[in-house]
Structure formats: structure tokens, C-alpha cells
Chain A
Amino acid sequence: MSTINETIEAEDGATRRDFLHVAAAGMAGVGAVMAAWPFIDQMNPAADTLALASVEVDLSAIGVGEAVIIKWRGKPVFVRHRTEAEIEAARAVPMDVLVDKQPDAERVQEGHAEWLVVLGVCTHLGCVPLGTKEGDDRGDFGGWFCPCHGSHYDTAGRIRKGPAPKNLEVPTYAFVNDTTLQIG
């Protein structure tokens, strides 16, 4: 054996056998990772879960100052018909008091400032904040209040007080016509 190794030893001391060992182990490693991937990826959302259709909302039924909860992709979406006072309150907030700085105009679509559409999922740990139904506690800023760990959101769905790090997420949506909203 030693004579064989000596004859094929390269100048830097590495042998052909060393190279074969490393190459084989490397390929086995790549193979192991490739074999593991299906077992990890099967946990991700399946095709039928991803294919959940978008939902349409009839806006004519929601009066000024009212809000509804729509179920979309298993999650609640808040659609709120804001009053003039609520819009102005949201616009009047100076940027530097906000945790997640975003002007009200970026939270709604142009020409539809009265409609605020946000995911009803607290950005802290995923509870559904109160404030959509009449008589709910709307928190210190007139928007939503999360009962789990005490996060307060304002009338633009922005986080103002409490442990949540971000504003309520705005989902993809479009106005199909004046009275129909499509989420997703």
C-alpha cells in the first residue's frame, strides 16, 4: 500500500486517495441535504392551502364609523369605514411619536381614505385585537386594543403603545367598483 501511495503522492503531500475521500464525502453530504429537503418542505403550505381564493366584500353594508371582520386565508381582516374625525386624527399625528413610522396616506389607497383595510392580527404574538365590534374597547388611541398583552393601535392601525413592534399589516386589496372590495 505504502508504495502505491508514494508513487501517486502529489508535491503538496495530498494523495489521489485523499481527494477521492473528500470528493465522495462531499457528494454524500450534498445528497443527504437534497434527501432532507422534501422532509422539511412538506411542512410548508400545501398547494390547496396556497390556492385559497381571494374574497370580495360588499362595502355598501358598512356605514360610516362601522367596521367588519372578514376571514381571509384563515385570518381575520378588519375593514373599517372611518369617520372624517378619525381620518383627521390619524393625519394629525407627528411622525416622531410613532414606533413604526408610516404616514396615514401610506396606510390607505388614494381616493379611498375612508376605507382602512388591515389584517386583524396583532404584530406582537398574533391575537385578534378588539375594536371592530360596537362596544369593544378601542384602546387609548381610538383604533384597536389587543387584550393579550396590551397593545394599542390608532385609527390608521398603527402601533402607539404596548409590546407590538409593527403597525397592523395592510394586505393586498383592490376596489373592484365603488361598493366592492377584493382582498388578496
Chain B
Amino acid sequence: MAEWNAAKPKNAVAAWVEERLPILSLVNNVVGVDTPTPRNLNYWWNFGSLAGLMLVVQIISGVVLAMHYTPHTSLAFDSVERIMRDVNYGWLIRYMHANGASFFFIAVYTHIFRGLYYGSYKAPRELLWMLGVVIFLLMMATAFMGYVLPWGQMSFWGATVITNLFSAIPVVGESIVTLLWGGFSVDNPTLNRFFSLHYLLPFVIAGVVILHLWAKKISDSGNPLGIDVKSNADQIPFHPFYTIKDAFGAGVFFFVFAAFIFYMPNVLGHPDNYIPADPMVTPASIVPEWYFLPFYAILRSITFDIGIPFTDIVFIPAKLLGVLAMFASILVWLFLPWLDTSKVRSGKFRPTFRWFFLFLVIDMFVLTVVGGKKPEGIWPLVGLIGTAYYFAYFLVILPLLGKIEKTLPLPESIANPVVKAAE
């Protein structure tokens, strides 16, 4: 378990502050010289800090955009165009914010799948992982509401389709949708509240990130070998070793980010969102942003009811089942620490698990493709198979595999990564 070391600053002013508010100790103990960290972290461990940096980028660019944006149905689209054409560097700030959302999700997805491979969700890091799931859910809500604000065709119809998901809830569904809309369709009250919440939620995310880091301090960082730290020889201070490594990773990441902002700022967006919202005309195809596609594919792949065969008795209609499947696909992560029964954390020492994990990664890419296609021809079937594997991985494969898999012998320690002779 983590130890807490008091900072002893040499600077008189710093010492004076530290004595009254130990904020230097706080930083030192979470990401500083007093944070012993496993010495073997690889580059997959960069993506947590990258996600944190992207949150900062989004908050700064977003606060500035809000100074020029008008949340009203008759002015929103034009105010965004004004940001693009007239506001000094408005184009740059808006492209940073729009592509920033994508790069935030790239960082977070990589971070999540690193955790899935190296078993970062296992004891004693269950709460650390679950707080991460909460951050991801908040991010999805924030990104969705942000996409509505420019009030283009995709904004409007995306908002209509997603808020209508709640109409699938029995009995109270329609009332909930009216409550979300503040009217009888997505309209000005909806735009106003989405703007308010889009501004609020990033700060809620920042709060949960602090809890996430606190839990990380208490349970220590995991590491690629998945074995516990045994001695000081296994660890190095976070600063300067990982601050430098994270900074280098951030440089590479921002290099790619800048390439998108300056050379292909609209590649990840949908051209229809440059058409002002029209409640009377639905675009030929409605596609969510790329980072929602796998979950959208799961939603659409359910086209059957659950009921008594050969009768009209239906317990769960297809629409509700699809919505339940979509929410369950993320909520299942909350139970992951207990679904995976293997005592070995790292996928490095689980030869069979590695294959199933590889298929899960491929499955996510397949579902992303399916989510972007019209539900015709072969795609609904591919989506259904992809959805089935996704749930099988978490609900069947991980619980069973932990009991039957023969894992490889674990190394002696992080500092001495040789395998003990087989007994």
C-alpha cells in the first residue's frame, strides 16, 4: 500500500504555504518525486496522462468557444459559422475542440483496452477501474451534448434519435423523453439545457479524475507483468522518470493531433452537420460520431423480441432490448473485476486469454464498421455476431477461462524478471 511522505521544500515561501496547506505534498505523492512507481511501465501506460491532457485542452478551448457561441435555435448555427469565419483564430479553436473530442476518445479507448489486457481492473484496483467507467460514461454524455450545439442536421437528428432511446422504457418512457426535451420535439429548450450541461459535465469529469488518481495512489499503478511491487528495487520515482516519458508521449500524440487540426479538420466529422437543422427533413443516413459506432451497432443489431414463441406475447420488445443491450455493453465493465476469475493479472502470462482478447479488439473494430453502414445486406448479421461475441467475452469466456486456463509461471519480481524454476 501507498505511503504518504511530507514535502520539505527549501524555498521559504513554499515552506510557509506547505505548513498551512500541504498542496506540495499532495502533488509530490500522486505524480511527483515521492510517488514510487513500477520501473517497467511501457508506452501503453502513457494514455492515462494523455487523456488528462485532452480534458484540459477541451476545457480551455470549450470555455473560449462559449464566449462566442449563442445557444438559441435561430442563432446557434450562425454563431458557429461566425466563430469559423470572423472570430480571430476561431477556426483554430473550434477545430481543436471538435478534433479534441476524437483524440480524447482515442486516448481513453487505448487506456481502457490497456487495462483490459493487463488486468488493471483486478484487486486491489476495482474501485479505480469503476471510477474510470464512470468517467467514460460522463464523457459519452458530454460528447453527445456537445455535438448537438452547432445545430446542424446531424446535431438535430442525432439528438432526436438518442433522446428517443428513452422512449423504450415501459410506461414512463414517453414522459421521460418529454422531460428531456422540455417540449414535444428537440427544440430550443433542449438546446439550452444541453449547452448548460455540456459546460458543467467536464468539471464533474475533472472531479472524478481526482478520485481516480487518489485511488491510483492508494492501490499503486499496475504494471505490464501484473505482479505486486516487492521492494524498492522494483520502483522509481514518478518524477522525473515518468513525467519525462509522459511528456515525450504527449509530444508525439499532439503531433498527430495537429496534423488533423491543420490538414484534415473535417475528416472525422459528417458533412451534413454543415446544413442547418431542419425538423421536417431527416438526412438520408444518420451516423453518430466514430467513437459511438460500436455501441450504436450493438443497439441496431437487436431486431428480435423476447417472448413466447409462436404467440403474440412479448415480454421485451426489440426496441427496448436493443437499448438495454447498448447500456449493458458499458455497464458490464463495472462488474468486470468479479467476472474475470483468473488470479493472474497480466495477459502476458495467459496464453489462451490473449487470443480471446485479440478477437475482442478485432470485434470492436468490426462493430465500428457495422455501426457506420446502413442496416442492409450482410451488415445486420455481422453486427449480431459481433454483439454476441462482445457479451460472450465478458459474461462467458472470462468467468470460465480463469478456472480452466493453464497460465505461464510468473517472474520473481519486477527488478528481477526471471522466471522461477518450475517446481
* A71/B375 in contact, CB under 8 A: no
A148 x B319 contact (CB < 8 A)? no
Contact B179 A127 (CB under 8 A): no
Query: Which of these binds chain A: B38-46, B74-82, B95-103, B276-284?
Result: B276-284
> Which residues between 122 and 179 of chain B lie within 8 Å of chain A, taking CB atoms?
157, 160-161, 163-165, 167, 178-179
Q: Which residue of the partner chain, among B180, B193, B375, contacts A149 with CB atoms under 8 Å?
A: B375
Task: Give complex CA distance A71, B282 in Å.
Answer: 14
Contact digits for B277-293, partner A, Cβ 8 Å, 1 yes 0 no: 00111101110000000
For chain A, residues 138 to 167, give those with C-beta under 8 angstroms from any C-beta of chain B. Answer: 146-150, 163-165
Q: How far is the CA of A82 from the CA of B414 in the complex (A)?
A: 78
A43–B124 CA distance with the chains assembled, in angstroms: 41
Contact A44 B182 (CB under 8 A): yes
Distance in Å: Cβ of A80 to nearest Cβ of chain B: 16
User: Assuming the A-B contacts A45-B182, A46-B182, are A128 and B280 also in contact, with contact meaning beta carbons closer than 8 angstroms in the complex?
Assistant: yes
Q: How many residues of B contact A (CB 8 A)?
A: 34
- Find out whether the CB atom of B317 lies under 8 angstroms from the CB atom of A165: yes
Q: Is the CB of A124 within 8 A of B189?
A: no
A147 to B374 alpha-carbon distance, docked (Å) = 9
CA distance A130 to B180 in the complex (A): 26
Quick check: B189 and A49 within 8 Å, CB to CB?
yes
List of A residues within 8 angstroms of B318 by Cβ? 163, 165
- Pair B161/A148 contact, Cβ less than 8 Å: yes
Known: A127-B157, A148-B282, A149-B375. A163 touches B303 (CB 8 A): yes
Q: Are B183 and A45 in contact (CB under 8 A)?
A: yes
Identify which of B183, B322, B375 contacts A74 (C-beta below 8 A): B183
Q: Is the CB of A125 within 8 A of B164?
A: yes
Q: Which residue of A lies closest to B305 (CB)?
A: A165
Contacts of B303 in A (CB 8 A): 163
Contacts of A128 in B (CB 8 A): 280-282
A75 at the B interface (CB under 8 A): yes
Docked complex Cα distance between A43 and B185 (Å): 13
A26 within 8 A of B: no
- Complex-state Cα separation, A146 to B179, whole angstroms: 25
Question: Distance in Å from the Cβ of A68 to the closest Cβ of chain B?
Answer: 11
**Residue of B whose beta carbon sits closest to that of A133:** B281
* B18 proximal to A (CB < 8 A): no
A125 touches B183 (CB 8 A): no
283-342 of chain B: CB within 8 A of chain A: 284-286, 300, 303, 317-319, 322
Cα-based distance from A127 to B157 in the complex (angstroms): 7
Is B279 in contact with A74, judged by CB distance below 8 angstroms?
yes
**Cα-based distance from A71 to B185 in the complex (angstroms):** 11
Cα–Cα distance between A73 and B318 once the two chains are bound (Å): 28
Decide: A49 and B182 in contact? CB cutoff 8 A.
yes
In the bound assembly, the distance between CA atoms of A74 and B279 in angstroms comes to: 7
Tell me whether B263 is interfacial, beta carbon within 8 Å: no
| Contact assessment for B180 and A43 in the assembled complex, using a CB-CB cutoff below 8 Å | yes
B residues near A43, Cβ cutoff 8 Å: 179-180, 182, 193
Asked if residues A148 and B286 are in contact (CB atoms below 8 Å), the reply is yes
Contacts of B184 in A (CB 8 A): 45, 49, 73-75
**Residue numbers in B under 8 Å from A163 (CB-CB):** 300, 303, 318-319, 322
List residues of chain A with CB under 8 Å of any chain B CB.
40, 43-46, 49, 69, 71, 73-76, 124-130, 146-150, 163-165
20 contacts between A and B (CB under 8 A): A40-B179, A46-B189, A49-B182, A74-B183, A74-B279, A75-B185, A125-B160, A126-B160, A126-B163, A126-B167, A127-B282, A129-B282, A148-B161, A148-B285, A148-B286, A149-B300, A150-B376, A163-B300, A163-B318, A163-B319
Which residues does B use to contact A, with CB under 8 Å? 157, 160-161, 163-165, 167, 178-185, 187, 189, 193, 279-282, 284-286, 300, 303, 317-319, 322, 374-376
